[in-house]
Structure 1
Amino acid sequence: MGNAIGMIELSSIAEGINTADAMVKAANVELIHASTICPGKYITIVHGEVGAVRAAMSAGQTAAGHYVVDELLIPNIDPQICPAIMMTTRPGEIEAVGVMEYFSVASAITAADIAAKAANVRLIEIRIGFAIGGKGFVTLTGDVGSVRAAVAAATKEEALLVSKTVIPRPSKQLVEKLI
């Protein structure tokens, strides 16, 4: 449906729901995620053509007012981003696993995009906020060298990074839990 993603995180659940509605009514975008996140926040993520996402973001910012906690707009996203957010990826064989954990959802999504563009890796999941204290984390796979390169590129700016790890040969039990 397009190549841009927009996200608004709010400090009010009621205003978050209202903002999600305003965003999808303002432009031809797909609502790929709208839910509460811990602690008591709401997040809305839309996907579409760059101009449509910009219009939706503008309408969302107006609707959200002073409730905006964080926002993100990434034009030209990697095609793996939306499926990873929606947890519909099929990563295939799991070789090495990279994990990047952030204090913010926007930082996790941005890191996933950077990692996917930096090396030949497959995103497994971008987990956002719910039941993880409002944090975000990314899991990805590929050969060890590619995973290390992707994690290094994505974590170069470490302002909101909590932790990162690369697991060269994950156990079968861990792989079963990741996919």
Structure 2
Amino acid sequence: MKRAIGLLELKNITRGIIAADAMLKAANVEIVMAQAMCPGKYVVMVAGDVGAVQSSIRSGTAAGGCENVVDEFVLPNIHDSVFPALSGCTEVKELKSLGVIESFSVASAIVAADVAAKSAAIELLEVRLARGMGGKAVVTLTGDVGAVTAAVRAGSAAIKDNGFLVDQLVLPAPHNGLRNLVF
């Protein structure tokens, strides 16, 4: 089986902790992240085999209560560049065209980043998750304008139908002064 990650995003912290406990008890998964996010949401990310991650997410949803779930996903093969972008440790060598995808949820931003990275030859810069942004999340990426345009379209399309897409943009030639503001 393939390695997978799953994420459960809940409306409140107490239900998030209950869900995290149930997720770990339900299947052979390891916790990648479990923490409070703005505005009082709780996010739990686990990794393991696909079936174990699916079982873990189902158990977390049941324990936390479906009515408390903001968003969730199971990604069987996450792109290698997503984890460095999540931790904000991607080194920006050159800012070419700039692409941005803004979402209403942490889970949808990670899905958008994964789809964008798989769809075109771009460099993920950062996946900024809900801290100080009222629960929103932002994906930033760079590359040649055609690749950035394709990646932003693909990533945005992946989350548009579920209502989590806030906005998107492609700046073909961003001013160098933006480099310090964006990253």
Fold shared per TM-score above 0.5 = yes
- Which residue is equivalent to 1:143? 144
Q: Would the aligned equivalents of 1:96 and 1:144 in 2 still touch at CA under 8 Å? A: yes
Q: Which residue of 1 aligns with 2:96?
A: 95
Cα–Cα, structure 1 residues 22 and 78, in superposed 2: closer, same or farther, change >3 Å?
same
- Of 139-148 and 9-18, more deviation after overlay is shown by 9-18
**CA distance, structure 1, for counterparts of residue 89 and residue 26 of structure 2:** 27
Please give the alpha-carbon distance, in whole angstroms, between the structure 2 residues aligned to 1:175 and 1:47: 33
* Identity %, equivalent residues: 48
Structure 2 SS opposite 1:78: coil
Counterpart of 1:171 (choices 169, 172, 175) is 175
Work out the CA distance in 1 between the residues paired with 2:128 and 2:34: 13
CA–CA distance in 2 between the matches of 1:29 and 1:124?
Answer: 28
Q: Which amino acid aligns with 1:53?
A: V
CA RMSD of aligned residues (A): 2.1
Q: Is 2:156 the partner of 1:155?
A: yes
Instruction: Return the offset for 1:101.
Output: 0.7
Aligned to 1:111: 112
Consecutive unaligned residues in structure 2, runs of 5 or more: none
TM-score, L = length of structure 1:
0.86
User: Where does residue 9 of structure 2 map in the other structure?
Assistant: 9
TM-score by length of 2: 0.84
Q: Residues 145 and 38 of structure 1: is their aligned pair in 2 closer, same or farther, counting only changes over 3 Å? A: same
> SS of the counterpart of 1:54?
helix
Matched with 1:44 is: 44
Does the 8 A contact of 2:70 with 2:105 survive in 1? Answer: no
Q: 2: distance between equivalents of 1:125 and 1:83?
A: 8
Contact preservation (8 Å) 1:3, 1:48: yes
- Equivalent residues of 2:97, 2:145 under 8 A apart: yes
What secondary structure does 2:134 align onto?
coil
Distance 1:151 1:178, change over 3 A: same
Give structure 1 stretches of 5+ with no counterpart. none
CA distance in 1, matches of 2:75, 2:42: 19
Task: Determine the C-alpha separation between the residues in 2 that align with 1:178 and 1:21.
Answer: 36
Q: Which amino acid aligns with 1:167?
A: L
C-alpha contact 1:126 1:136 (8 A) present in aligned 2: yes
Alignment partners' CA distance in 1, 2:65 and 2:85: 29
Q: Match of 2:56? A: 56
What residue is the counterpart of 2:72 in the other structure?
71
CA positional deviation for 1:144 = 1.4
Tell me which amino acid in the other structure corresponds to 1:4: A
